[in-house]
Chain A
Amino acid sequence: MWKPLEINTSSINKESIELLFSDETPAVIIRNFYGKKYCKTVVNRIKEQKFENFQNQKLNHIGPFLMSFITKKNQYFDEAKLADKTFNRIFYELPLPSERLYKTMSKVYPQNSISVASESQNRFSPFVIRIHDKGKLIPIHRDNVGYEGKEYGISNIDKQLSCVLHLQESELGGNLIIYRRQWTKKDEKFRKIDFGYSSDLISSSEFYKISNLESGDLVLINPNYYHEVTTIEGETPRVTLGMFLGFYEIENKIVAWV
C-alpha cells in the first residue's frame, strides 16, 4: 500500500527522503518536529500582533510566495524583505522552524551546503505562514518551480521537496490528500483559470488522505505529485508554515525558498 512513512527527527535519513522521489511513499511525516508550546505561542502572536485581518478572516497568508510573482521578481524580493520583519516579531526568542529543518537536513545530507536561496544579492523568502479558516480549501495542484518559476535562478534545481509544519489544526477537515500522479506539461489542458487543476485529472488515481496530523508535525512531500487540502470544517483555523527545498545534485547544494 502507498502510505506515508512516520518517523521522528532523530531517525530521519537520506533513504527516507529518497522514498519521496522513487514513488515509494506519498509523504514523510516527522512527528513533534516543533514543540506544541512553540506552535501555540506562534499562533497566539499571529492573532495578537495586530494582524487584524486574521480575525476578520481576510488574511490567509503572511509573507510572499514566489508563485504570486512569477513575472514580478523585483516585487517578490521587496515583499520578502518586508516579511522578514514580521517573521522576526512572530518568532522572537523562539527557535525558527526553518533553521531546525536546515540543521536536520544537514545531518541527512552531510555533503551538502544548505541555505536560503539568493539571487543577485536578493534573498528569497524562507517560508510562508498560511491561515485557512472554516470553509476554505486548497484545490488540487502541484508545485514545480522549474516550470512557472523560469524567471528565477532556482528554476534550474534538480529536485524539489515541500516541507509543511502544522502549527494549528482545525477540529474537522483540512486534510491533506496526495494523489499518485505526477504533473507533466501535457496536464496543462486540465488547468483551472486562477489556480490548480480539474479533478478529472486524478479521478482514477490512487491516493492517500492524511487526517491525523497534530500541531508540531512536519510533512514532507514530493510536490510534483498532485495534492489538495480538503475543506476546513471546524471553527479553529488551520495554520501552517510552508517552505520548499531545492536540491542541486552535482553542486551538493540545497536551497530554501517559498
Chain B
Amino acid sequence: MTDIIWGNGSEVLSNDSFVLNVTHRKSGNKNDYSDSEKIKLISADLPGFPADKNDWNSEKLTDCVIDAFLKCEVDLRDDRGMLLAKVSHSGVGGY
C-alpha cells in the first residue's frame, strides 16, 4: 500500500517541487514523515494545473499549491530526502 500524507503547500522550490506542511498521515503508513516535507511531483491532478509535465512552471505551481490542501501519494524518498509523489487535490471544501 502506498504511503499517503496530506497538508498545505507553503513554498515552491522549482517548476515541479514544493514544500508541504504536513497535517495528516495515513494510518498504516510504512514510513515516518516530518511536519515539513519537500515534495517533487511525479504527476499532478490539481484544478488549474496542467496534466502535461512540459507545461509545468513555478508560477502555475505557486498558484495551485500555496496554502492549498493537498494529498500526496508517496512513491519514494530520494537521496536528497525529497519525496517523489503523485499530488492531487484532497476532496473539496464545499459543494
Contacts and interface: CB of A to CB of B under 8 A. Distances in A.
Interface residues of B, number: 20
Given A71-B89, A191-B69, A149 B47 contact: yes
B67 A191 contact: no
A194 B4 CA distance: 14
Given A151-B47, A186-B67, A70 B89 contact: yes
Contact of B47 (A70, A143, A192): A70
B81 interface: no
Nearest to A185: B67
B48 A150 contact: yes
A186 B10 CA distance: 11
Nearest to B10: A189
Interface string A178-197: 00000101101101111111
A79 to B, nearest CB: 15
Contacts of B90: 191, 193-194
B62 interface: no
A64 B69 CA distance: 23
Contacts of A67: 92, 94-95
B69 A151 contact: no
Contacts of B92: 67-68, 70, 148, 195
Contacts of A223: 94-95
Interface in B6-48: 6, 8, 21, 23-24, 45-48
Interface in A37-93: 65, 67-68, 70-71
B70 to A, nearest CB: 9
Nearest to B90: A193
Contact of A193 (B8, B24, B46, B68): B24
B47 A188 contact: no
B6 A143 contact: no
B8 A189 contact: yes
A127 to B, nearest CB: 12
A142 interface: yes
B45 A71 contact: yes
A71 B64 CA distance: 13
Given A189-B8, A193-B24, A151 B48 contact: yes
Closest 8 CB pairs of A and B: A150-B48, A191-B69, A141-B94, A143-B94, A194-B91, A150-B47, A67-B92, A188-B69
Interface of A: 65, 67-68, 70-71, 141-144, 147-151, 183, 185-186, 188-189, 191-197, 223, 242, 258
Given A67-B94, A191-B69, A195-B94, 5 more contacts: A68-B92, A70-B89, A141-B93, A142-B94, A148-B92
23 contacts: A68-B92, A70-B89, A70-B92, A141-B93, A141-B94, A142-B93, A150-B47, A185-B68, A186-B67, A188-B67, A188-B68, A191-B69, A191-B90, A191-B91, A191-B93, A193-B6, A193-B24, A193-B90, A196-B93, A196-B94, A223-B95, A242-B95, A258-B95
